[in-house]
Amino acid sequence: MTGTEGLRRRPAGETTVALPSGAAMPILGQGTWGMGEDPREADEEAVALAAGLDLGLPLIDTAEMYGEGGAEEVVGQAIRGRRDGVFLVSKVYPHNAGFAAAIEACERSLRRLGTDRIDLYLLHWQGRTPHAETIEAFERLREDGKLVDWGVSNFDIDDMEAWAGEKGGDRTAANQVCYSLSARGIEWDLLPWCQDRGLPVMAYSPLGQGRLLGNPGLVGVARRHGVAPATVALAWLLTRQGVVAIPKSSRVERLRDHRKALDLILDESDLAALDHAFPPPRRKTSLAIL
């Protein structure tokens, strides 16, 4: 089915999504894109991530690409002494997606993160390595206990179908893509496809890098509820079944706004107002990639 009429709503009270291993992934977490690029800011960034954990945002998403490993080091600092309370996601470069290279890249990430396991490990985007080889590496890492679940990022529906058709592809745990009120293209086909298969979708850049927060329609809904526009934008994403949002901020007050999205209930008039302000797609569009 294509078109937004095929979308499913999240059941009330659900705060996690189930992965193939049986693990429960929180539906709201923290992103780290842009962290770890300036060593002078590393301590402040780690403190912010730790504050997010304290506020009830236990998922942290990072990647070996972010700051060329710097973000993973920041995360490692933030989670030191509290690893068991964190759901940790990282991603491997496409040029490191070969069998031996992926295993070595994962081990480097583990060292930077200061942990013995990654809860969800993703192929950051498609490269030239055959899917079967990457899946084999991911499975070896899973069997060795170095990761719990694995998946992909920036895969459109055709990419997902090809990946899922490989041996072991049915163990794919998630697809992380750009998704927000201002980037709704996946609602036409990719999101329904994932929902039909119980495959979680992780929404990166869920606040449109802040550009959507001044939209009058969004601001109006936020005022009715007495919350920040960011809270509404995230709560809207969380109405979608299987969607996980990973906003990034180094400011504690904004992290508080993000956390409130778990408790905000949007009614039908709110959703209609947001559809009017940010119309759903009417045709297939290219996957948004940042």
Look up 93 and say whether it is catalytic: no
Q: Provide the sign of the torsion angle of the four alpha carbons 175, 239, 187, 4, taken in this order.
A: positive
Of 2, 73, 1, which is closest to residue 284 (Cα–Cα)?
A: 2
The Cβ of residue 145 has, within 10 Å, a number of other Cβ atoms equal to 9
Of 9, 23, 5, 3, which is closest to residue 148 (Cα–Cα)?
23
- The active-site residue, picked from 66, 121, 179, 204, is 66
Q: How far apart are CA 118 and CA 131, in angstroms?
A: 20
HSE (CB half, 13 Å, CA atoms) of 77?
Answer: 19
Beta pairing class for 24-26 and 16-18: antiparallel
Active-site residue set: 66
